[in-house]
């Protein structure tokens, strides 16, 4: 019953151990997980678009093959995460339906355009780098299927980040035009990648509860600061610079600091008024429709197999 269930749930939280699909859980805990995991899955699927834009334009066969592998990984991450969300009783059709109807959130970062090849490097190094900072702690999320999905995802994100760093390193060591293209990409992706971590802590309505439930392990600002530190160290190896003169390590607080971010822009992107929101949704709708025959064939095949097994 609910009393025994709540007592068990509270014990699991206090012990910082795991809640599994068949365990009793508060409705609000379930809702928070469906919200976050479905958004995470949507982010992976939409995130395929900015990168796929360069598969047919990659500068070499090697780069094309690596980029294709990365985009396929993102699709897999999405399917992994939709499966984790389904264990909470929400169907994939319902989640996909919310996305194509424009009713679901996905990461703000994917509403920006990828205008040069160097953006593939910046996305790998910065966006996947930010995703790693955010996803490593999620490996310890209190909900079993989510934490376990993150372990596999993080291993693949590391490859994504390294290939992005290598693209930037090659360009930065190239001719002046290539170096400028790499710097331009870093300049454009810097602030949007910092905003991936969510609004400032004092404007983050979900954080307190999410941390009490051992879903979010560190605050938005804390992970953002870690990410700035990671980039500040690595950008020197690239011989490039971060477009933020206020990046510095505060010896007293032992944290990395950065300049102000445009949270009005963030709000506009979340409201659907970012540079590429409409295009991303339109492409997703088109892809969903184009995939209709696959779903019909799979359903017909499943029915045929079921009938055969009954006979
Ligand atoms: N983009 C879109 N919406 C965002 C956002 C972002 N970057 N950051 C915050 N929001 C939304 C939240 O969803 C929330 O809105 P809601 O209540 O309507 O859902 C609101 O802004 C307030 O933010 P909070 O900080 O209160 O919300 P959370 O506690 O959920 O924290 C989060 C936001 C840190 C993004 C958290 O949801 C999270 O860790 N999600 C899982 C990680 C994730 O989604 N990563 C996407 C990265 S993309 C990726 O991994 C692909 C890579 O492989 C390239």
Ligand 1 centroid–CA 106 distance in Å is: 7
Cα distance between residue 36 and residue 42, in whole Å: 10
Closest ligand 1 atom number to CA of residue 215: 39
Cα distance between residue 269 and residue 264, in whole Å: 9
Closest ligand 1 atom number to CA of residue 138: 39
Ligand 1 pocket check: which of 107, 208, 221 to mutate, most ligand atoms within 8 Å of Cβ? 107
Ligand 1 centroid–CA 222 distance in Å is: 14
Ligand 1 centroid–CA 21 distance in Å is: 23
At CA 81, angle to CA 75 and CA 85, rounded to 5? Answer: 145
What is the ipTM, given to two decimal places?
Answer: 0.97
Residues in the chain predicted with pLDDT less than 50, given as ranges, are none
Ligand 1 pocket member 261 (CB < 6 A): no
If DSSP codes are grouped into helix, strand and coil, which group holds residue 210? helix
Give the closest residue (by CA) to ligand 1 atom 9.
198
Give the closest residue (by CA) to ligand 1 atom 28.
206
Q: What are phi and psi of 88, to 5 degrees?
A: -95, 5
CA distances from residue 179 to 13, 113, 170, 237, 245 in whole angstroms, order as listed: 50, 20, 9, 13, 20
The number of CA neighbours under 13 Å toward the Cβ of 51 is 31
Ligand 1 pocket check: which of 162, 197, 198, 215 to mutate, most ligand atoms within 8 Å of Cβ? 198
Cα distance between residue 205 and residue 195, in whole Å: 16
Ligand 1 pocket member 217 (CB < 6 A): no
Would you state the pLDDT for residue 154?
95
Closest ligand 1 atom number to CA of residue 40: 44
Ligand 1 centroid–CA 174 distance in Å is: 36
How far is it between the farthest Cα atoms of the chain? 74
Cβ burial of 121 (10 Å; 0-12, 13-18, 19+) is buried
Cβ burial of 10 (10 Å; 0-12, 13-18, 19+) is exposed
Closest ligand 1 atom number to CA of residue 127: 54
pTM: 0.96
Would you state the pLDDT for residue 1?
81
Cα distance between residue 287 and residue 273, in whole Å: 22
What lies within 8 Å, CB to CB, of 238 at 6+ separation is 165, 168, 169, 172, 182
Q: Which of 103, 99, 102 is nearest to 42 (CA)?
A: 99
Ligand 1 pocket member 40 (CB < 6 A): yes
Ligand 1 pocket member 108 (CB < 6 A): yes
Ligand 1 pocket member 164 (CB < 6 A): no
Would you state the pLDDT for residue 211?
98
The answer to whether 93 and 30 have CB atoms below 8 angstroms apart is no
pLDDT of 39-93, one tens digit each? 999 999 999 999 999 999 999 999 999 999 999 999 999 999 999 999 999 999 9
Ligand 1 centroid–CA 306 distance in Å is: 40
């Amino acid at each position: 019953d609910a009393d025994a269930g709540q007592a068990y749930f509270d014990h699991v939280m206090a012990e910082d151990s795991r809640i599994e699909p068949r365990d009793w859980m508060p409705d609000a805990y379930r809702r928070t997980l469906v919200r976050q995991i479905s958004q995470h899955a949507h982010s992976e699927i939409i995130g395929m678009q900015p990168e796929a834009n360069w598969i047919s334009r990659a500068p070499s066969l090697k780069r094309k093959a690596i980029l294709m592998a990365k985009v396929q990984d993102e699709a897999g991450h999405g399917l992994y995460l939709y499966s984790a969300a389904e264990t909470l009783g929400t169907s994939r059709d319902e989640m996909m339906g919310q996305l194509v109807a424009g009713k679901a959130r996905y990461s703000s970062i994917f509403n920006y355009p990828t205008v040069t090849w160097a953006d593939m490097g910046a996305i790998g190094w910065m966006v996947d780098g930010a995703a790693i900072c955010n996803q490593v702690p999620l490996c310890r999320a209190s909900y079993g299927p989510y934490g376990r999905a993150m372990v596999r995802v993080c291993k693949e994100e590391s490859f994504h980040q390294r290939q992005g760093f290598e693209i930037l390193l090659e360009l930065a060591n190239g001719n002046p035009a290539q170096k400028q293209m790499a710097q331009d990409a870093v300049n454009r992706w810097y602030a949007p990648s910092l905003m991936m971590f969510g609004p400032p802590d004092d404007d983050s309505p979900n954080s307190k509860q999410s941390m009490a439930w051992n879903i979010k392990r560190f605050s938005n600002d804390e992970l953002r600061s870690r990410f700035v530190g990671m980039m500040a160290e690595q950008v020197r190896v690239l011989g490039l610079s971060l477009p933020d003169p206020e990046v510095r390590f505060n010896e007293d607080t032992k944290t990395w600091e950065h300049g102000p971010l445009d949270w009005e822009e963030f709000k506009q992107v979340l409201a659907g008024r970012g540079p590429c929101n409409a295009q991303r949704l339109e492409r997703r709708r088109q892809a969903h429709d184009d995939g209709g025959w696959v779903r019909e064939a799979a359903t017909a095949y499943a029915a045929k197999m079921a009938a055969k097994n009954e006979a």
